[in-house]
């Protein structure tokens, strides 16, 4: 990998997606890509090693180039994926587009319901007018995956098509509650093997095969990774503290600073806060947060599960992959 400086997720569009599709700068200069569709595929919650497990199959279809970037904190979809599409840090999204910054529960998909609008705002900020307009599709299930397969041929005349695949994120969350999945994916090696098996039988793989027949460019990336958590660390907070186990947002937070990064001034990390006394904490290494009165319950529920939101290489160092169809040689 020859990238000297890793970039953060809010810059992925500017330097990797729109840097390629519109600015044509740096190493993505292509003099003949006028009218060529750009597919931006976001695979939610994909670790770098998970991508490496499917990389050989991508390389069979495309001329592939892998680079890396850093996710922002927290390494969680409501923050990192909104930053990717907007090209902004969360604090700037909340300031510029308060109508798009939803502050509901962390597990509520509504916090990412405005991604397409943020994407279009970003395009306008960059001074471009897309005609036809960008296409944006989220894929949660087989029916939605099959819808994409039916539409790909018609998308060969589009400017920008964004596809968000949520399977790996759903897998990580369901594994924490499903004994069968825990036995099927007992460790990181099992996660990579499961990812490979899923990909080879997925609608995503079939979609990539179809795109490979077009004169197109594909960017594959993700918003965050995950880490297998094995050590509990106690946290104290009020009843309004967020419920996630790798990061917390709230007032009067207390935690062992050897196990967590304590952010007293969220704005310095590009994060909005609900009040001037709100703080963030991010679990380090393979720790996860538990409350003293629920310590053993949380241990039984979360020990050995894959989680995200905190500070670790597995969650933060992520792939950005440029794929050129082989007919573009």
pLDDT digits (tens, 9 = 90+) for 249-268: 999 899 999 999 999 999 99
pLDDT at residue 3, rounded to an integer: 37
pLDDT of residue 8: 59
Residue 104 is predicted with a pLDDT of: 54
Q: Which of 50-64, 194-208, 227-241, 258-272 has the lowest mean pLDDT?
A: 227-241
Q: Tell me what the mean pLDDT of segment 56-74 comes to.
A: 93
Give the pLDDT of residue 229: 96
Q: In this predicted structure, what is the pLDDT of residue 27?
A: 32
pLDDT at residue 287 tops 50: yes
Whole-number percent of the chain with pLDDT over 70: 86
pLDDT at 279: 93
Full-model pTM: 0.88
SS (H, E, C) the chain: CCCCCCEEHHHHHHHHHHHHHHHCCHHHCCCCCCCCCEEEEEECCCCHHHHHHHHHHHHHHEEEEEEEEECCCCCCHHHHHHHHHHCCCHHHHHHHCCCCCCCCCCCCHHHHCCHHHHHHHHHHHCCCCCCCCCEEEEECCHHHHHHHHHHHHHHCCCCEEEEEECHHHHHHHHHCCCHHHHHHCCCHHHHHHHHHHHHHCCHHHHHHHHHCCCCCEEEEECCCCCEECCEEEEEECCCCCCCCCCEEEECCCEECCCCEEEECCHHHHCCCCCCCCCEEEEEECCEEEECHHHHHHHHHHHCCCEECCCECHHHHEEEEEEEEEHHHC
Determine whether domain 7-226+313-328 maps to CATH 1.10.20: no
Specify the domain boundaries for CATH 3.40.720 within the chain: 7-226+313-328
What does the pLDDT look like over 91-121, one tens digit per residue? Answer: 999 999 999 987 655 445 567 889 999 988 8
- The per-residue pLDDT for 110 is 67
Grade residue 290 by pLDDT with cuts at 50, 70 and 90: very high
The segment with the largest mean pLDDT, out of 163-167, 202-206, 265-269, is: 202-206
Q: pLDDT at residue 327 above 90?
A: no
* Mean pLDDT for the stretch of residues 69-85: 91
Of residues 316 and 16, more confidence is placed in: 316
Residue 23 has pLDDT above 60, yes or no: no
pLDDT band at 50 (very low <50, low <70, confident <90, very high): very high
Q: What is the pLDDT of residue 106?
A: 46
């Amino acid at each position: 990998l020859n990238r000297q400086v890793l970039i953060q997720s809010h810059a992925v569009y500017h330097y990797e997606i729109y840097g390629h599709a519109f600015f044509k700068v740096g190493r993505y200069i292509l003099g003949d890509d006028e009218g060529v569709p750009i597919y931006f595929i976001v695979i939610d919650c994909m670790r770098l090693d998970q991508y490496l497990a499917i990389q050989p199959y991508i390389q069979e279809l495309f001329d592939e180039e892998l680079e890396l970037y850093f996710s922002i904190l927290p390494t969680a979809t409501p923050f990192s994926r909104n930053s990717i599409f907007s090209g902004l840090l969360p604090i700037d999204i909340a300031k510029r587009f308060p109508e798009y910054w939803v502050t509901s529960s962390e597990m509520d998909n509504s916090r990412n319901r405005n991604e397409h609008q943020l994407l279009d705002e970003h395009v306008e900020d960059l001074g471009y007018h897309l005609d036809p307009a960008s296409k944006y599709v989220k894929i949660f299930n087989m029916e939605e995956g099959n819808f994409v397969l039916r539409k790909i041929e018609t998308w060969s005349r589009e400017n920008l098509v964004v596809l968000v695949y949520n399977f790996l994120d759903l897998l990580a969350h369901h594994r924490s509650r499903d004994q069968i999945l825990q036995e099927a994916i007992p460790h990181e090696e099992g996660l990579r093997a499961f990812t490979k098996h899923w990909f080879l039988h997925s609608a995503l793989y079939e979609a990539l095969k179809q795109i490979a027949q077009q004169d197109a460019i594909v960017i594959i990336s993700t918003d965050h990774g995950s880490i297998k958590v094995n050590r509990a660390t106690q946290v104290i907070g009020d009843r309004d503290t967020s419920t996630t186990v790798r990061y917390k947002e709230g007032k009067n937070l207390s935690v062992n600073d050897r196990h967590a990064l304590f952010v007293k001034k969220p704005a310095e990390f590009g994060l909005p806060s609900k009040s001037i006394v709100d703080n963030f904490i991010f679990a380090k290494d393979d720790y996860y947060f538990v409350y003293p009165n629920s310590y053993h319950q949380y241990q039984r529920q979360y020990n050995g599960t894959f989680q995200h939101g905190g500070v670790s290489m597995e969650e933060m160092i992520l792939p950005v992959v440029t794929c050129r169809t082989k007919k573009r040689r």
